Amino acid sequence: DIDHLNLRVQKELVEWLNWLKADIGFDGWRFDFAKGYSADVAKIYIDRSEPSFAVAEIWTSLAYGGDGKPNLNQDQHRQELVNWVDKVGGKGPATTFDFTTKGILNVAVEGELWRLRGTDGKAPGMIGWWPAKAVTFVDNHDTGSTQHMWPFPSDRVMQGYAYILTHPGTPCIFYDHFFDWGLKEEIDRPVSVRTRHGIHSESKLQIIEADADLYLAEIDGKVIVKLGPRYDVGNLIPGGFKVAAHGNDYAVW
């Protein structure tokens, strides 16, 4: 165990981070198991090494109902993520992985897409509150891959990417999906749409529809994304939009 309250430990870790930055060329940090030490300590490491980007893994359980599924309201869960960023410094480079969005998406794509509109009409994850500080993802080395601890439904992974790659927040692509699953070309298409239209972490999200079998949203008035098996949505798509990416139960205009 590392005693992060020990001043010598702090000093040596800061020196190591600055060595990684100056001599090796790293310019960002990922804080593993960040709930294992205080945000005040993480702030010391960030302030004294000045990375261009930092992201924390704060993985806590969502609130579940008697049916074993997440409650619609996950405000307490995303508040934990917001609180960490607040304490570390909201104006700095600190962000957190949006585990709230991950947990809700896991269930939503299984015929419960209504979950993707929160009670306030916004996105239900951290991206609905502070998208500039939310790093969205479908799976990572813990949840997917060999550990398989909270995996995304494998046959619906591209629905997850269609969502995070068109929405606010900073999307993160899982190595396994991109290189090992043969999804590189399919993931590339919504990435290109995001880049071409300048969709960014604070883009404006307008949720048009969120039913069991259909989620439809417009981003910055430039991009529209559809999740779900409902096929006939032409009456909901404004004129001038053309399909730029599509696959199993998703499309991007």
Give pLDDT, residue 52: 98
Give pLDDT, residue 238: 87
Q: 117 is in which domain, residue-wise?
A: 58-203
Give pLDDT, residue 77: 98
What is the pLDDT confidence band of residue 104, given thresholds at 50, 70 and 90? very high
Q: How far is CA 168 from CA 65, 134, 218, in A?
A: 28, 8, 11
What is the pLDDT confidence band of residue 135, given thresholds at 50, 70 and 90? very high
Q: Does residue 87 lie in a domain region? A: yes
Q: What angle do CA 202, 207, 241 make, to 5 degrees?
A: 90
What three-state secondary structure class fits 97? strand
Q: Does residue 16 lie in a domain region? A: no
Residue linked to tokens 């995001």? 194
Q: What is the mean pLDDT of the chain?
A: 97
Mind listing the pLDDT tens digit for each residue in 170-219? 999 999 999 999 999 999 999 999 999 999 999 999 999 999 999 999 99
* Segment 109-126 mean pLDDT: 97
Q: Does residue 15 lie in a domain region? A: no
pLDDT at 237 over 90: yes
* Segment 239-246 mean pLDDT: 94
Q: Does residue 23 lie in a domain region? A: no
Per-residue b or e along 140-169, where b marks 16 or more CB atoms closer than 10 Å to that residue's CB = beebbbeeeebebeeebbbbbbbbbbbbbb
Q: Does residue 224 lie in a domain region? A: no
Give pLDDT, residue 1: 79
Give the active site residue among 57, 142, 176, 213. 57
Contact 95, 135 (CB under 8 A): yes
Q: Does residue 162 lie in a domain region? A: yes
β-bridge mates for residue 206, sequence order: 218
pLDDT at 88 over 90: yes
pLDDT at 166 over 90: yes
DSSP character string of 115-183: GGS-TTSS-SSGGGT-GGGEEEES--TTTSTTT-SSPPPGGGHHHHHHHHTTSSSEEE--HIIIIISS-
Alpha carbons 103 and 98: distance in angstroms, whole number: 9
Percent of the chain at pLDDT > 70 equals: 100
> What is the count of structural domains for the chain?
1
Give pLDDT, residue 122: 97
Give pLDDT, residue 79: 98
Give pLDDT, residue 148: 87
Q: Is 32 an active-site residue?
A: yes
Give pLDDT, residue 100: 98
Q: What phi and psi, each to the nearest 5 degrees, are found at residue 93?
A: -85, 0
Q: Does residue 52 lie in a domain region? A: no
| Domain containing residue 64: CATH number | 3.20.20.80
- Say if residue 5 is exposed, middle or buried (CB neighbours under 10 Å; 0-12, 13-18, 19+): exposed
pLDDT at 2 over 90: no
Q: Does residue 74 lie in a domain region? A: yes
Q: Is 57 an active-site residue?
A: yes
Give pLDDT, residue 147: 86
Give the active site residue among 32, 40, 50, 180. 32
